[in-house]
Structure 1
Amino acid sequence: MSEKLSSHESQELFEAQLSRLGEAHYLVLLWSAKSEGKAWKYNLTNFFDDLKHLGITRTKQTAVAVIEAMASLCFIELRDESNRKNIYITKYGAKALARLLEARRYESKASAYLEV
């Protein structure tokens, strides 16, 4: 079954995906975009440390699950570089971040790694 989605259906799917994103999903988009703006590398360990610092999670499993979900949605890309899993926002992730910022669903929080 290789039926193509119409433009309207694609937009509906995108909106449904956005409606299911939580705060940690938003933050990985925000922080990966900020890191690219600074030409820094942001990785899974940085993300976990930031979530832990903010009290959002205490386990690396949660950070991994968020990253894997966002990669599955094509909102971020994970690359193995120098023994690290670096996180890069995609054009779809940038579009999702823009929509989430417009909606003001979540408060922007500082990344301890990026604010150094």
Structure 2
Amino acid sequence: MKRQAEQGLDQQQATPADKLVTLAESMGCDESALDDLVHGVASKQASAENNAHDDDLDDERHDLASQQASDINNGGVSAQVAWLLENGVTADAIESELRESVQPQPAMEPRV
């Protein structure tokens, strides 16, 4: 009974990031489950920066954003979740992406 109470308390104290990482682990998500989302957010930020500046650094900003996204993705699910939350992606959107990553893909029909 005491252990159940401790687990309940642990769940109440867990941050949204902790809960998402635990969810990803419990579902057996591949480490690449959030890669596209991280790259998409980083690219969107680079585009916003490009729109805010009238200079010739568009390619450099996108290259830097892509490298940053790769570094975050190489840090694993906990780094991805933390960065996504810090950059305005909701916990619900991240959870949806995680759940979608483990959905079975429809089988392709063989060509005849």
What interval of TM-score do these two structures reach, taking the shorter chain for normalisation? 0.3 to 0.5
- Rg larger for: 2
Higher helix share: 2
Q: TM-score scaled to structure 2, two decimals? A: 0.35
Higher strand share: 1
Q: TM-score scaled to structure 1, two decimals? A: 0.34
**Which structure is higher in RCO with an 8 Å CA cutoff and minimum separation 6?**
2
